[in-house]
Amino acid sequence: MDDDEDILVALQRQLRQHFNVTAIPDAKTAIRAVVSGGPFEVVVADLRMPGMDGVALLYLLREAAPKTVRILLTRDADMEAATSAINLGNIYRFLTKPCSPEVLLDVLKSAVEQYRLANAPPPKGAHST
C-alpha cells in the first residue's frame, strides 16, 4: 500500500510475476479489503499516508487479521517510527525507500514463507499438550 498511485502501479507490475497482488491507495480501503476479502498472506504499508499512518494501519490489521504478515516501507528511516511499528504493529520487516526490487522480492518471499509456516496445519498424529 502506498499513497502514490504511480508507485503502486509499478510495484504491482513488478510483483505480479511472483505473487497475487492487490494494490490499494489508502488505509480505509485496505482495512475493508483485508477484513472482507482476506485472508491476505502479507500486507506492505507505507509509513506516511494521508489520513492514517502505516503504523496505525498495521496495528489495526494486527487486530483484524493477526495471521497476516505485516511489512512497513518508508522513506523516513527514523528509529522512533521503526520502534513504534515493531511494537504496535508487530511487523515482520521495516524497509526503507528506495528499496531495490531484489531486496523487496526477497523480503516478500520470506514473508509468504513465514505466513505459510505459521499457519500450516499440525502434522497428522501430532498432539498438543
For 66-76, how does the pLDDT look when each residue is reduced to its tens digit (9 = 90+)?
A: 999 999 888 76
Inside any domain, residue 116: no
Number of domains within the chain: 1
Q: Is residue 110 part of a domain?
A: no
Residue 16 has pLDDT above 50, yes or no: yes
Question: Which has the closest alpha carbon to 82: 115, 49, 63, 58?
Answer: 58
Say if 61 falls within a structural domain: yes
* CA-to-CA dists, residue 19 to 5, 15, 97, 106, 109, angstroms: 19, 6, 20, 12, 9
How sure is the predictor about 41, in pLDDT bands with cuts at 50, 70 and 90?
very high
108 part of a folded domain: no
In this prediction, residues 38-63 reach a mean pLDDT of 87
Q: Which three cell numbers stand for residue 10?
A: 509499478
pLDDT of res. 1? 45
Looking up cell 497475487, which residue turns up? Answer: 20
Residue with cell 522480492: 105
What domain range includes position 68?
6-92
Beta strands in the chain (DSSP E): 42-46, 69-74, 93-96
Higher-confidence residue of 120 and 70: namely 70
Q: Please state whether the predicted TM-score (pTM) of the whole model is above 0.75.
A: yes
pLDDT for 115: 93
Mean pLDDT, to the nearest integer, of 102-121? 91
Model confidence at 112, in pLDDT bands (50, 70, 90)?
very high
Tell me, yes or no, whether 14 lies in a domain: yes
Report if residue 35 sits inside a domain.
yes
Domain presence at residue 88: yes
Query: Alpha-carbon distance 120 to 27, whole Å?
Result: 29
What is the Cα–Cα distance from 27 to 20, expressed in whole angstroms? 19
Q: Is residue 19 part of a domain?
A: yes
Share of the chain above pLDDT 70, in %: 84
Task: Provide the CATH number for the domain around residue 62.
Answer: 3.40.50.2300
